[in-house]
Amino acid sequence: DGYVPPDYCLPLLYPPGASFSHHYDSRTRWGEVIVGVNLGREGEMLFVPQAKHDKEALAARTNGKIKSVRVKMPRRSIYVMSGPSRLDWKHGVVSHKVTKNDPPLPSWNPHNMRKSLTFRSTKVFSDVYFERKIQDMQNMIVTERNDERRREHEETLADLTTRQRSQLRFKASGDYGKGSLSGADLLEERRRAASLLDMMASGSVGVPADLRFDPSEVTFPLPPGVPTGGSYDAAGGFAVG
């Protein structure tokens, strides 16, 4: 039923020749999907299988000659990591050597930097989103009178349940190095997630950018009409103005 909407943006800059060893984007800190925007120059990602069956499948398709998969990222491209590419395969960034055959760079990028913007949901936000979507779909199945539409709802519910199950393998954690969330901290994160989802679902106003992203995460001018100036408190949730 679509991707989990992001509530966080992580910007990174890669100078010429920079690389990143293969890793998981934390499966306890971040939710189901990572959406990346590649700016400045082209890049290349490396995906490495971790499970035995994935390694065997890749070896069978390549006669054992390839142990990883490389994916080109043209400038201004968007990529989505979900399912196995998000949860089961590690990914890294391949070092790029500058050559005369490289595509021309934009005028604003004289130092050949690659800028990566990754939009993601925090784990608690993702968990609460799935709980709500599953409950909504269950309610729709109960009230639906049309057999064909009910079957469609049941298929969607089965897909949502499978996706949620894959996420429940990992217990939500706080900021890096702070361990698993529990007790009052977890409850507060769930309140924040529920309040933000309520605001996003209301359709009456746009979600203020400063409630969704820290100022340090937005390094470009916001387009006209994007609301700002929101606030949050544990009792009243998010508000505009």
203-221: pLDDT as tens digits: 655 566 666 666 676 777 7
Per-residue pLDDT reduced to its tens digit, 82-132: 989 999 999 999 998 888 888 888 899 999 999 999 999 999 999 999 999
Compare 104 and 223 and report the one with higher pLDDT: 104
* Predicted structure pTM score: 0.81
CA distance 119 to 59: 32
Residue 71 contacts residue 79 (beta carbons within 8 Å): yes
Q: How confident is the model at residue 239 (pLDDT cuts 50, 70, 90)?
A: low
Backbone phi, then psi, for 202, in 5-degree steps? -65, -35
- Write the CA distances from 113 to 36, 103, 109, 110, 124, integer angstroms: 16, 13, 6, 8, 33
